[in-house]
Amino acid sequence: MTTLHPEFAWRRIGFWLSGLLGLGAVVLVVSRFGELEHLVEIERNAKPVWLIAAFALQVLTYAAAAAVWYFALRSAGAHRPLTALLPLGIAKLFADQAIPSGGLSGTLLVMGALTRRGIPRPLCMAVLLVGLVSYYSAYLVAVVIALAVLDLFHAVSPAVTGIAALFIVVAVAFPALTLWLKHTRGGRLRYLLTRIPGVRDLVSAVSDAPTHLMQNPRLMLGTAVLQFSIFALDAATLYAMLRAVGVTANLTGVFASFMAASVTATMGPMPLGLGVFEGALIAVLHLTGIQLEAAFAATFLLRGITFWLPMLPGLWLARRELRRI
């Protein structure tokens, strides 16, 4: 197995430290303005049935992610069982979180895993392109819906609007860049992209990927719906966490709050979204009428089940895939 370059290893450690510092800052701010005794009481009285429901919802998110690859592979005539693809979803999550790269690290991991399962490399990239394009399309729709809902709650600030507008530009630019890479062989931008570590292989794979899958409207619509369902399931998980701490919230408001926090973390400066996601989610939930302590408790329960809990199985599955190289 290859070892990481020392500079890259220290950079990755720096990512984690800065993220944890941001997370600590959120805890300090909330503890300053909230009542710690009330927060401890909320956590102690969390209702287990809702925690179990939240866990079940998260399992469904992994199934939906695997289903995107399942239907894309089936459309390409390379059928693989859904159960065989499910562990790759967990491994991809770990790779994206452990090595921040805008989803590139997890994408390359899954591409390698599918290749080792006998699927031709160009077809693997075509499948993953379907996943990436459908992901950004669903993300874009979810953000637009979230902005409309937050406007009803009078919770749209100039900062939220600016971050969402920037994300919308990125969400539109990504599919356009993908198509441009497919139809050009040179150019200054392409040269600069190939100079980024790890991106050279991705650019090459995009160029070689067949386009017939992305020209299938039924497949693209179906995978976009599956990607949107992942956002909806994550928001439903947050709703379950709020119910666990004794809060009955408006479901559409919870969805909008989750999407606002997701966009802020995606576009924010802090690696891994640590601190940024938590702070944004607590703030927006509070703006929609949820008590600060309850928003804090639900947010950290959500991050525990969506971010920290999958780390150990994700590490094991990722290492298993890397050993096969």
Answer whether 130's CB lies under 8 Å from 67's CB.
no
pLDDT band of residue 52 (cuts 50, 70, 90) is very high
Q: And the tokens for 292?
A: 């600060």
**Of 32, 30, 15, 110, which Cα lies nearest the Cα of 72?**
110
- pLDDT value at residue 138: 92
- pLDDT value at residue 112: 78
Answer whether 295's CB lies under 8 Å from 74's CB.
no
The neighbour count for residue 254, using CB atoms within 10 Å, is 26
Model's pTM, two decimal places? 0.78
Q: Could you tell me which residue, 113 or 226, shows the higher pLDDT?
A: 226
Answer whether 54's CB lies under 8 Å from 237's CB.
yes
pLDDT, average across residues 290-307: 86
**Of 74, 106, 73, which Cα lies nearest the Cα of 87?**
106
Residue pLDDT, tens place only, 124-144: 888 888 888 888 889 999 999
- pLDDT value at residue 325: 53
Q: What is the percentage of the chain residues whose pLDDT exceeds 90?
A: 19
Write the burial class of residue 138 (CB in 10 Å: 0-12 exposed, 13-18 middle, 19+ buried). Answer: buried
Q: Could you tell me which residue, 179 or 259, shows the higher pLDDT?
A: 259
Distances 107 to 111, 114, 126, 231, 291 between C-alpha atoms, Å: 6, 11, 12, 19, 38
Distance CA 166, CA 145 (A): 16
pLDDT, average across residues 23-48: 54
Residue 16 pLDDT > 50: no
- pLDDT value at residue 179: 67
- pLDDT value at residue 26: 47
- pLDDT value at residue 300: 85
Residue pLDDT, tens place only, 77-99: 888 888 888 888 777 766 665 55
Answer whether 127's CB lies under 8 Å from 76's CB.
yes
Q: Could you tell me which residue, 166 or 40, shows the higher pLDDT?
A: 166
- pLDDT value at residue 60: 92
- pLDDT value at residue 125: 80
Residue 3 pLDDT > 50: no
User: Is the alpha carbon torsion for 148, 152, 157, 158 positive or negative?
Assistant: positive
The neighbour count for residue 173, using CB atoms within 10 Å, is 12
3-state SS record for the chain: CCCCCHHHHHHHHHHHHHHHHHHHHHHHHHHHHCCHHHHHHHHHCCCHHHHHHHHHHHHHHHHHHHHHHHHHHHHCCCCCCHHHHHHHHHHHHHHHHHCCCCCHHHHHHHHHHHHHCCCCHHHHHHHHHHHHHHHHHHHHHHHHHHHHHHHHCCCCCHHHHHHHHHHHHHHHHHHHHHHHHHCCCCCHHHHHHHCCCCHHHHHHHHHHCCCCCCCCHHHHHHHHHHHHHHHHHHHHHHHHHHHHCCCCCCHHHHHHHHHHHHHHHHHCCCHHHCCHHHHHHHHHHHHCCCCHHHHHHHHHHHHHHHHHCCHHHHHHHHHHHHHCC
Q: Could you tell me which residue, 225 or 296, shows the higher pLDDT?
A: 225
Amino acid (1-letter code) at residue 160: V
Least reliable range by pLDDT among 149-163, 211-225, 289-303: 149-163
Residue pLDDT, tens place only, 203-262: 666 666 677 788 899 999 999 999 999 999 999 999 999 999 888 889 999 999 999 988
- pLDDT value at residue 272: 58
- pLDDT value at residue 317: 75
Domain boundaries, the chain: 37-323
Amino acid (1-letter code) at residue 167: F
- pLDDT value at residue 198: 52
Least reliable range by pLDDT among 5-19, 30-44, 51-65, 201-215: 5-19
- pLDDT value at residue 21: 47
Mean pLDDT of the chain: 76
Most confident of 14-18, 91-95, 120-124: 120-124
